[in-house]
Amino acid sequence: MSTKDTITAKLTQAFAPESLNVIDESEQHRGHGGWREGGETHFRVQITAKSFEGMNRVAQHRAINEALSDEFENGVHALAIEVG
């Protein structure tokens, strides 16, 4: 399973989103810190989920980062998060 697929599965399981888009932006970061051949290092997550209601932006981002902690330990360098 690709890192993108793993991120999608974990966020779906954790937050049951109404909408979710996971974009691999690694190629845009070629030559920058954390980039490696083959990509799957830099991602953008666009997510809308009722489970984020009542949470401020910091709490939303912390929850997402916690759900993906294994991915950060295994090669994901950066994650841009957009919560709708």
* Domains parsed from the chain with CATH numbers: 3-83 (3.30.300.90)
**Class of residue 50 by CB neighbours under 10 A (exposed 0-12, middle 13-18, buried 19+):** exposed
Q: How confident is the model at residue 30 (pLDDT cuts 50, 70, 90)?
A: low
Q: 43-71: per-residue pLDDT in tens?
A: 999 999 999 999 999 999 999 999 999 99
CA dist 20 and 4 (Å) reads 12
pLDDT at 26: 83
CA 29 to chain centre: 16
pTM confidence score: 0.86
pLDDT at 34: 60
User: Residue 13 pLDDT more than 60?
Assistant: yes
CA dist 73 and 69 (Å) reads 6
pLDDT at 69: 97
For the chain, give me the number of helices (H) and strands (E)?
A: 3, 3
